[in-house]
Structure 1
């Protein structure tokens, strides 16, 4: 009698054999049953993993899962273990870890999944899918949790200094991986670093590092600076810091001597720079009041209109429009600005300008130092009656011609 040798313990799965090999197996089995009257005994097939356990990189707060596929599990069990802590998380579909964010699903065939919801930083590490064979079989996958950058709250979100002083801004950021911090000015204005004497040392568009230190600051350093933190994990975050540079007001009038005829409207212009914010005003010099040479500030009324036009956060134009000039409107007007650091003012002398038929301008009526200079105007400064003068008086509006004469007088005053 022919004795058939039992199949090896690790026999190949018949489902994976070729058709000819399958036919040979069936023939061998049939002959064994016919000769011995017994079915051949096959050894139990060992469990095997069909695919590697994957690695994951996940943003904090998202969900993730590991997939473990095992064939020929038979009576063995699949367990999930956190390798770095040696903690058993689950056996088959029964949870061991008391973590509500962990769960296991099974498709009743060969696939187990370990789910981690709302991933947190402490979920990072190596996870193991293990089968309790002897020796045990396992495979591992790694979970990396990345965290978007966040700027740590600071005590102050701005800084101020007197002009010529120093400003130091600090911005700390957290995240995984560690964020990179850089500084940028609003509207891409340049960041200026200066030597001790105030001379420019370096001008850049961006500055890298958690600390931005500006020395010998000037008023044009004033404005918004942004701290920007990024680590490749969206979103990039930023925080706005405001720098204030304080100085005594500076006041300039565009013309110290202005002439205009009766009945016309005239505008007096004044440019002001000040920080911190200043109180600005127009007033009229009152020569009749010797106790106080300057009267109260002028207010908006049908006669006077005051407008302010901002240039930037520390400078503006403040213009005074006087309507329908009367003889009493001529005199000296004062543009003043005052803040916590001091006060400054500048004057404009408004005089009367009349045009005569022969081309001479009558003596203006003014007060103040500007008129004292104008009284000594040499005769050569007066425009002589000429063809050019006649042409100008015929082709220029009276106000424009008056302005031309005023300019000539002012030039010869000096």
Structure 2
């Protein structure tokens, strides 16, 4: 305990008087223990009654250094200060608390014996990770080798260290040459050993230190695994027509990073079991577009787009990948795709609207013949009483009209026709069907006999044979012709 000099007192007493007793100084409250985070501010309070002419001093016990006496600073630390409220309270202030400020502080009165009380200051320090140059640089190994990572952290209280992968995948631990393995999301400890390492173990690993004092801190370690390049071609044969654009692709794995190229019309030259690329190296331009799409830390997709294919563009293409550990190639064959000529499908037949029955004004007027001319015509040998029907369209022909004479001569010969479905056929005159009749579904072929002649006042006969679908309108047409002929004769 630091001893302060006792004050010297001169007391004069008169004869027969006893000196009065002075009350001794006393502490009214204990000195509190304080715990603060590094960088904060803290104050110790010392309350003393009946101090009188005594003095209050502040002392750091572990170093036995006098910090202040009464309201005067002894130490030259700018972060320390002392205050007095003018009555019975003294305070020691510590600003921007640091680790070396932790320890025991004493409020002391220079009585005989000395009176004092003590309080401790605890400083909480957030975690901090120490720099380790070896861990920062030596994080690469060949496939099948080992990588050792170390993460040292300090803080108060002592921080805990946890490892995890940045991409949230499991950390894989292999033993016995890789024959046994375990995996976990996290691993506790300052060191992490990855043995029998594989390319899938590549990536970023995080070391996280925490001790309950914010903030937690982390450090990023990049693990590299080196191996010979690998190429996979999913579509080794690609076909495309002339004038089109085509896309060729190669999947590549390599570490360290490889140089990737495309070649066309190449030949493989085998030297000591390794293929060497021979051919024209393709360059980026209007004809060729090249792109590399990263898939992981060690894998990517090579893409080659060939624009406006010509005959000379067809052939063999190669994708090549080269790094410090080796070289590999992949083949893609591009061949012409012959497209069948385009044909136009026939348009479906449409339904024509049924024609209206012609009126009396629409019927063609026949020229009236003289009586002598009619007689000569009737006496003919089977000549037609009416003109033969006109031909319809290119796909139909109507039968001719029947003849007539005084003795009932035989009728004219029949005709044949084919009709497309849903088509309205314009009838020929005579025995052709009336214009208001519309053929519906199906195609029909028919033959019909002409109307028979009739004598004076007698009716003619009609007959017909239908092939395919029955066409009763032909029979009706023949009968109509015979009826018209008989009516004309009655007028005569």
Query: Is 1:184 the equivalent of 2:164?
Result: yes
Q: 1:351 to 1:48 in 2, by over 3 A?
A: same
Partner Cα distance (2:187, 2:268) in 1: 60
Deviations 1:333-353 (A, max 9, x none): 101101010001110111122
Q: 1:272 to 1:62 in 2, by over 3 A?
A: same
2:337: which partner in 1? 353
- SS of 1:220's equivalent in the other structure is helix
Picking from 60, 64, 71, the partner of 2:49 is 71
1:24: which partner in 2? none
2:209: which partner in 1? 229
Two-structure CA RMSD over aligned residues (Å): 2.5
Map 1:249-288 to 2 at 5 A: 249-286=229-266
Q: Which consecutive residues of structure 2, in runs of 5 or more, have no partner in the other structure?
A: 1-18, 271-275, 344-492
Displacement, 1:140?
1.1
Partner Cα distance (1:288, 1:187) in 2: 40
Partner Cα distance (1:194, 1:289) in 2: 40
Q: Which consecutive residues of structure 1, in runs of 5 or more, have no partner in the other structure?
A: 1-40, 360-414
Partner Cα distance (2:32, 2:211) in 1: 24
Partner Cα distance (2:76, 2:306) in 1: 83
Q: 1:182 to 1:132 in 2, by over 3 A?
A: same
Deviations 1:184-215 (A, max 9, x none): 21132211111233245221111111111101
Map 1:85-100 to 2 at 5 A: 85-100=63-78
CA contact (8 A) 1:57 1:144 kept: yes
CA contact (8 A) 2:83 2:90 kept: yes
CA contact (8 A) 1:125 1:142 kept: yes
CA contact (8 A) 1:303 1:322 kept: yes
Q: 1:224 to 1:99 in 2, by over 3 A?
A: same
The count of corresponding residues between Structure 1 and Structure 2 is: 319
Picking from 278, 300, 308, the partner of 2:284 is 300
Partner Cα distance (1:175, 1:79) in 2: 32
Query: Is 1:118 the equivalent of 2:102?
Result: no
Displacement, 1:120?
2.6
1:328: which partner in 2? 312
Partner Cα distance (1:282, 1:137) in 2: 90
Picking from 45, 56, 68, the partner of 2:34 is 56
CA contact (8 A) 1:192 1:200 kept: no
Partner Cα distance (2:266, 2:227) in 1: 30
Partner Cα distance (1:73, 1:286) in 2: 103
Displacement, 1:61?
3.0
Map 1:94-243 to 2 at 5 A: 94-156=72-134, 157-158=136-137, 159-199=139-179, 201-243=181-223
Displacement, 1:310?
1.0
Q: 1:297 to 1:79 in 2, by over 3 A?
A: same
Displacement, 1:42?
7.0
- SS of 1:187's equivalent in the other structure is coil
CA contact (8 A) 2:40 2:96 kept: yes
Q: 1:215 to 1:287 in 2, by over 3 A?
A: closer
CA contact (8 A) 1:285 1:293 kept: no
Displacement, 1:293?
6.8
2:298: which partner in 1? 314
Partner Cα distance (1:149, 1:228) in 2: 10
- SS of 2:167's equivalent in the other structure is helix
More divergent stretch after superposition (86-95 vs 221-230):
86-95
Instruction: Flag the structure with larger Rg.
Output: 2
TM-score between both structures, scaled by the size of structure 1 = 0.72
More divergent stretch after superposition (63-72 vs 133-142):
133-142
More divergent stretch after superposition (335-344 vs 313-322):
313-322
Displacement, 1:289?
11
Deviations 1:217-272 (A, max 9, x none): 11111111111112222221111111111111111112111122222221111111
Query: Is 1:344 the equivalent of 2:328?
Result: yes
More divergent stretch after superposition (339-348 vs 52-61):
52-61
Partner Cα distance (1:236, 1:293) in 2: 53
More divergent stretch after superposition (92-101 vs 272-281):
92-101
Q: 1:153 to 1:344 in 2, by over 3 A?
A: same
- SS of 2:82's equivalent in the other structure is strand
Which structure shows the higher helix fraction?
1
Displacement, 1:128?
1.2
Partner Cα distance (1:222, 1:199) in 2: 19
Displacement, 1:356?
4.2
